[in-house]
Chains A and B, each alone.
Chain A
Amino acid sequence: MKTLRFSFLALLAFFTLSCNPDRFIEQPLGEYQNGLFILNQGNFGAANSSISFLSNDLQTFVLDAFAATNADVTLGDTAQDIGFFENRMYVVVNNSNSVQVANRFTLNAETRITSQLNNPRYVAFGNGYLFVSNWGDGMSSTDDYIAVYSLLSFNHVVNIPVSEGPERMLVVGNELFVAHKGGFGFSDQISVIDTNQLNVSETITVGDVPDGIVEFQGNIYVLCSGKPGWSSTPTSGSLHRINPQTREVTQTWNFSSQNPNHLVAGTSLYYAIDNEVFAFTPSQSALPQTAIIQTGPQGVYGIYALAHKDGKIYLGDAGNFSERGYLYIYSLSGQLLHNQQVGVIPTGIYFN
């Protein structure tokens, strides 16, 4: 008994001493924490996609972080999207028909998913699955699908056929919402996929060319760009609120002769029209008339990527598409805070 009590006390002492909070140092998970990635598409056919990294304190910038970490793995041709799940990053490389899997903090390449991918576009996660939207043959309207993989084994599970041009996706509860821009044509559909049954349970009709789909304050918002001015029947953009439980469009705001894109959810909703950024809170009845950010003075060519974090707007400018692009960081009042030259055609900004 005495020895037991003594050993218990000793053990207790041991634990209290070793768990001294002053000596508990958090180990960094990797070089690429606390910052943002810029996904540079590169030129189509040139296999020069890259991932740039900028730290939150703006002190560290790495032009091609993926290549810096992986000397013998080429990211590939025309990377389109990055998704994060737990400790990994998933990079959809469109013209290499692959998804590159890497550690999101160290950027060490782990594996590459290549089976059943044909013209892959965007990635989403839900219910233990990885979903990748695929166009199939760009010129065919009947071979588009969502490829489904297990997040544990990366084995292919099934291909879910959908209508033409699936792009961005959003998982809410047990459902995957897929926005169909229409590929080389124009669509106005949102496919709803049950992530248990892995089939399309219904489709929702919104406006022309649903470009962005985000969740904000419990509802789903879809921003439709409208058919562009150069198409045979141009239409204006629209914003739709969808109730995720009833899956019905509960409110629509129409733009007048404008084609908005790049919908982002932050402290309010943000989107771009040409090279200006607007903010919108759905409690407002009307769409804003004035932009919060006008990029003209900075000579921004056009907004190719848009993101929001902690009261700041981040945008990517691709220039003339044959040169290195730029990242611009603005405050919500339109003041330019920082700019950074990145790789060729920055297509997405992702926070780590």
Chain B
Amino acid sequence: MKSTLLLAQLCLCFSFYSLWGQNETALHLDEVEVSDRYFQRFSKPAFVQSLADSARIRQSPTLATFLSTQTLVHLRENSAGMIASASIRGGNAAQTAVLWNGIPINSLLTGQSDLGILNTWDFSKIDVKSGGSSLFYGSGAISGSIHLQSDLNFNQDLNVRILSRYGSFHSISNQAMLSGGSSRLAYQVSAQALSSTNDYPIPGRGERMQNANFTQQSMQANVGWKPREHHQLSWFNYFVQAHRNLAVVPQMGMRSKLEDRQFRSVINYSIKSRFAVFHLKNAFISEDFDYFENRFTSVRSGSGSQMLFQRWDVQKHFSYGTLSLLAEGQWQRASGDNFEPQFRRIGTLGAFWQSQNIGKWLLQTGVRREWNSVQDAPWVGNVSLGYVFTSAFQLFATTSTHYRLPTFNDLFWPGSGNPNLKPEFSRQYEMGYIWERENVKWQTTVYHYQIQHQIRWIPTLGGLWMPENVMEVENSGFETQFHYRLNIRKAQLHTQMGYTYVNAVDMTRQNRLTFVPEHKYIASATYARKRWDVGLNGSFTSFVFTTTDESAFLPSFVLLNALATLKLDDKEKWRLHLNAYNLTNTFYETQINRPMPGRNLHLAIQYQL
């Protein structure tokens, strides 16, 4: 079914308007097809943690591990390898949008993305943006967004990369990537398989996690083609499947498992004409999962969703700025053992303006309006003002509005679904500065935002739980991040520090939100010289409340990790990687009764052509 839909879509998409909207400075480098132009062009000014060092990214076994150790994102993990969700600026998992090549991939059923099965191998670049972006990405991007990008390099020689890793608890990971191309063709194919017994001992308790083993496989196939000058086509495909036994502590009786399959495909076509830049994006996103309450039986409950997405946009440069206009359509479907197929159709129009420098001032503004078949979304917009003091130092202030539509589970769950739900709506204010020179970057933002009509499932008198727009939330806080690179003769030292403080309050009860830590602090240092590259990173996460009346909490914790890479030969074809996590064997949990592993080590060998 999935392949016929994709084929149908291929036949739909080729109308010859497309264009390439490129970053002009990239003309000096090998041409790179950037898959998410909005992020690349419009993400500043904002607080963005760029994790551009993809080699580092690949060292982490999963995206969840990487985000929790290297960024200010707070991860809630149901123990290692299991379902993990992200929280930025105190928002919940559904308010953090995860975008893959510019397409939102949060589940249509739950509104969240499971970061436990998005692995790090398949992306060239990962950026974490704090604050909302509903203007560009629509529903869901309220408190932050995580951007996963695959980029295609034209004019690249054949490149092969293979990595094999073995780690604690019988974790085995094998990854292979092949890429290459010519001036008109670029391709990249990669595959990864990961498995682990995952029966780690719980630090300080002398017992092991039960029912914890899992396997995951993923594949990515991307191709770029320039049929003629100023035309470009790119096609990205990503498939992942996971079989996970849901890990539990020994006192728990259930032995459940979860099987997930996700497939994503996006085709971009761009045409650059003298008049304007045209871009067409078509995407198909699908997810499917089966939950076995008792994995020893074949009794299961499953759900799945599919989304077709099409976006047309036009970008025109004027002397005083760039205007972008977009029109988008989405067709969404969800079904499952629990409910009959339900549909939602969404149409959107948007306009954005990014000015050129007017003296020292920069202005970015935009507006977006969505119509959908189930409920209407509000107008959202943003106004961002920047003042460039010097080429290194910039101040900015932004006010914006964002929203999140209810999920299919919220609307249509049999018996509990509430089709009258309104979207969550947020108003945000932030200001900050970015100071960036050749070797140092320091950015800080202060923010305040509120969310109205936040959806929460509450028990009703009949004993039934129903989602209602009952919550009002106000979050304010402050984020800062500092990077410094120092070259000392033949060695390079790179340090990073970051801190975030968030005060997240449920205004209806005047209590702090659950599972939101007030403070997170990260610090890392890496030292590279000749064949060695060693690094140390640590994080501190403060305690989180687990009940809405602040009566119970999960304690704060400090984690320390180390990594080292050794280049085995002069041509740098062979590398050895060693990763050690949780060096102090600290007991910690980000979810009630779901302890994370203690000290664990991973050794990998990498071959690169």
Q: Report A's interface with B, CB cutoff 8 A.
A: 43, 45-48, 74, 76-77, 94-98, 117-119, 137-140, 228-231, 259, 274-275, 301-302, 318-324, 344
Say which residue of B253, B297, B464, B547 sits within 8 Å of A322 (CB atoms).
B547
Cross-chain pairs A/B with CB under 8 angstroms, 29 sampled: A45-B252, A45-B592, A45-B594, A46-B592, A47-B249, A47-B593, A48-B552, A48-B592, A76-B251, A77-B253, A94-B253, A95-B253, A96-B251, A137-B294, A139-B299, A139-B301, A228-B463, A230-B415, A259-B462, A274-B461, A275-B461, A301-B459, A302-B459, A302-B461, A320-B458, A322-B514, A323-B548, A324-B551, A344-B547
In the complex, chain B residues whose CB is within 8 Å of the CB of A47: 249, 251-252, 592-593
Residues of chain B within 8 A (CB-CB) of A323 are: 547-549, 551
Residues of B within 8 A of A229 (CB): 462, 464
**Cβ-closest chain B residue relative to A75:** B251
Q: Give the A-binding residues of B (Cβ under 8 A).
A: 249, 251-254, 293-294, 297, 299-301, 415-416, 458-459, 461-464, 514, 546-549, 551-552, 592-594
A76 surroundings in chain B (CB, below 8 A): 251
Q: B252 touches which one: A43, A96, A119 (CB < 8 A)?
A: A96
Q: With a 10 A CB-CB cut-off, give which of B251, B254, B415, B416 has the most chain A CB atoms.
A: B251
Q: Is the CB of A96 within 8 A of B293?
A: no
Residues of A within 8 A of B252 (CB): 45, 47, 77, 95-96
Name the residue among A97, A228, A230 with the largest chain B CB count within 10 angstroms: A230
Asked if B461 contacts A230 (CB within 8 A), the reply is no
- Which residues on B sit within 8 Å (CB–CB) of A321? 459
Q: CA separation between A46 and B252, bound complex, in Å?
A: 9
Residues of A within 8 A of B301 (CB): 139
**How many Å from the CB of A60 to the closest CB on chain B?**
20
Alpha-carbon distance A140/B254, docked complex (angstroms):
14
8 Å CB contact of A324 from B251, B300, B459, B549: B549
- Identify which of A45, A117, A321 gathers the most chain B CB atoms within 10 Å of its CB: A45
CA distance A49 to B224 in the complex (A): 57
In contact, B251 and A74 (Cβ under 8 angstroms)? yes
Q: Across the interface, which residues of A come within 8 angstroms of B462, CB to CB? A: 228-230, 259, 274
Residues of chain A within 8 A of B464, CB atoms compared = 228-230
Residue of B nearest to A114 (CB): B253
- In the A-B complex, the 4 residue pairs with the closest CB atoms: A97-B253, A230-B415, A323-B549, A46-B592
Given the interface contacts A74-B251, A77-B251, A230-B415, does A139 sit within 8 Å of B293 by beta carbon?
A: yes
A318 shortest CB reach to chain B, Å: 7
B465 to chain A, nearest CB (A): 8
Q: Which of chain B's residues have a CB closer than 8 A to the CB of A230?
A: 415-416, 462, 464
User: Which residues of A lie under 8 Å from residue B300 when comparing CB positions?
Assistant: 139
B89 to chain A, nearest CB (A): 22
B209 CB, min distance to chain A CBs, angstroms: 13
- Contact present for A140 and B253 (CB under 8 Å): no
Would you give the shortest CB distance from A316 to chain B, in whole angstroms? 14
On whether A95 and B593 interact (CB within 8 A), knowing A137-B294, A259-B462, the answer reads no
Complexed CA–CA distance, A95 and B255 (Å): 10
Q: Is the CB of A140 within 8 A of B547?
A: no
Given contacts A95-B254, A137-B297, A318 and B459 within 8 Å (CB-CB) = yes
Nearest chain A CB to B38 CB, angstrom units? 37
Residue pair B593, A46 in contact (C-beta under 8 Å): yes
Q: Tell me which residues across on chain A come within 8 A of B251, comparing CB atoms.
A: 47, 74, 76-77, 96
* A233 CB → nearest B CB, Å: 12
Q: How far is the CB of A44 from chain B (nearest CB, A)?
A: 9
Cα of A321 to Cα of B300 in the assembled complex, Å? 27
Enumerate chain B residues within 8 angstroms of A118, measured Cβ to Cβ.
253
Q: CB distance B415 to A231 under 8 Å?
A: yes
Please name all residues of chain A whose beta carbon is closer than 8 Å to the beta carbon of B548 when the two chains form the complex: 320, 322-323
- Report yes or no: A119 in contact with B297, Cβ–Cβ below 8 A: no
Q: How far is the CB of A211 from chain B (nearest CB, A)?
A: 11
Task: Please give, as numbers and ranges, the residues of chain B lying within 8 Å of A319 by CB-CB distance.
Answer: 549
| Cα–Cα, bound, A22→B252 (Å) | 52
In the assembled complex, which residues on chain B have CB atoms less than 8 Å from the CB atom of A97?
253
A94–B251 Cα distance when bound, in Å, is 11
Smallest Cβ distance from B215 to chain A, in angstroms? 23
Other than the known A77-B252, A275-B461, what 9 A-B pairs have Cβ atoms closer than 8 Å? A45-B592, A48-B552, A77-B253, A137-B297, A230-B415, A230-B416, A274-B461, A302-B461, A323-B551
Chain B residues near A274: list those with CB within 8 A: 461-462
**Which A residues lie within 8 Å of B299 (CB)?**
137, 139-140
In angstroms, Cα B513 to Cα A322, docked, is 11
A344: B residues at CB distance < 8 A:
547, 552
Closest-CB distance, B545 to chain A (whole angstroms): 10
Q: Which residues of A contact B551 (CB under 8 A)?
A: 323-324
Instruction: Tell me the complex Cα distance, A114–B105, Å.
Output: 43
Q: How far is the CA of A95 from the CA of B253 in the complex (A)?
A: 5
> Which of A47, A117, A259, A274 has most B Cβ within 10 Å?
A47
> Looking across the interface, which residue of chain A has its beta carbon closest to that of B297?
A137
B293, B514, B549: residue with the most chain A Cβ atoms closer than 10 Å: B549
Instruction: Tell me which residues across on chain B come within 8 A of A138, comparing CB atoms.
Output: 293
Task: Determine the distance from Cα of A74 to Cα of B251 in the docked complex, in whole angstroms.
Answer: 8
Which of A140, A323, A324 is packed against the most chain B CB atoms within 10 Å?
A: A323
In the complex, how many angstroms separate the beta carbon of A182 from the nearest chain B beta carbon?
14
CB B596 to nearest CB in A, in angstroms, measures: 16
Instruction: Report the Cα distance A112→B461, complex, angstroms.
Output: 35
8 Å CB contact of B463 from A48, A119, A302: A302
B296 to A, closest residue via Cβ: A137
List of A residues within 8 angstroms of B293 by Cβ: 137-139
Q: Which residues of B contact A43 (CB under 8 A)?
A: 592
Instruction: Give the chain B neighbours of A324 by CB distance below 8 A.
Output: 547, 549, 551
Q: How far is the CA of A322 from the CA of B458 in the complex (A)?
A: 10
CB pair A45 B593 closer than 8 Å: yes
In the complex, chain A residues whose CB is within 8 Å of the CB of B547? 322-324, 344
B309 to chain A, nearest CB (A): 33
Cα separation A318 to B458 with both chains bound (whole Å): 12
Residues in B neighbouring A301, C-beta threshold 8 A = 459
Nearest Cβ in chain B — how far from A261, in angstroms?
Answer: 8
Residues of A within 8 A of B546 (CB): 46, 322
Cα–Cα, bound, A301→B294 (Å): 33
In chain B, what residue has the closest Cβ to A274?
A: B461
Assembled-state Cα–Cα distance A228/B461 (Å): 11
Pairwise interchain contact B253-A320, C-beta atoms closer than 8 A: no
Q: Are A48 and B514 in contact (CB under 8 A)?
A: no
Shortest distance in angstroms between A30's beta carbon and chain B's nearest beta carbon? 25
A301 and chain B: residue at smallest CB distance: B459
CB-CB nearest in chain A for B470 = A320
Q: Which residues of B contact A98 (CB under 8 A)?
A: 253
- Note all chain A residues with C-beta closer than 8 A to B463: 228, 302
A332 to B143, CA, bound (A): 51
- Separation of A47 and B251 alpha carbons in the complex (Å): 8
Query: Which B residues touch A95, using CB under 8 A?
Result: 252-254
Q: How far is the CB of A120 from chain B (nearest CB, A)?
A: 9
Whether the Cβ atoms of A77 and B297 lie closer than 8 Å is no
Q: Which residue of B lies closest to A323 (CB)?
A: B549
A74-B251, A138-B293, A228-B464 known; A320+B593 contact, CB < 8 A: no
CB neighbours of A318 from chain B (8 A): 459
Report how far A138 CA is from B301 CA in the complex, Å. 11
CA distance A76 to B249 in the complex (A): 11
Q: Say yes or no: A320 contacts B254, CB within 8 Å.
A: no
CA gap between A138 and B274 in the complex, in Å: 65
- A274 to B460 Cα, complex, angstroms: 9
Task: With CB as the reference atom, state the residue of chain A lying closest to B413.
Answer: A230
Contacts of A137 in B (CB 8 A): 293-294, 297, 299
Q: A47-B249, A77-B253, A322-B547 are in contact. Are A140 and B461 (CB under 8 A)?
A: no
Q: Which partner residue on chain B sits nearest A74 by CB separation? A: B251
Partner of A48, one of B254, B458, B549, B593: B593
Q: How far is the CA of A118 from the CA of B294 in the complex (A)?
A: 11
The distance from the CB of A322 to the nearest CB of chain B, in whole angstroms, is 5
Complex CA distance for A165 and B552, rounded to whole angstroms: 33
A145 CB to closest chain B CB (Å) equals 15
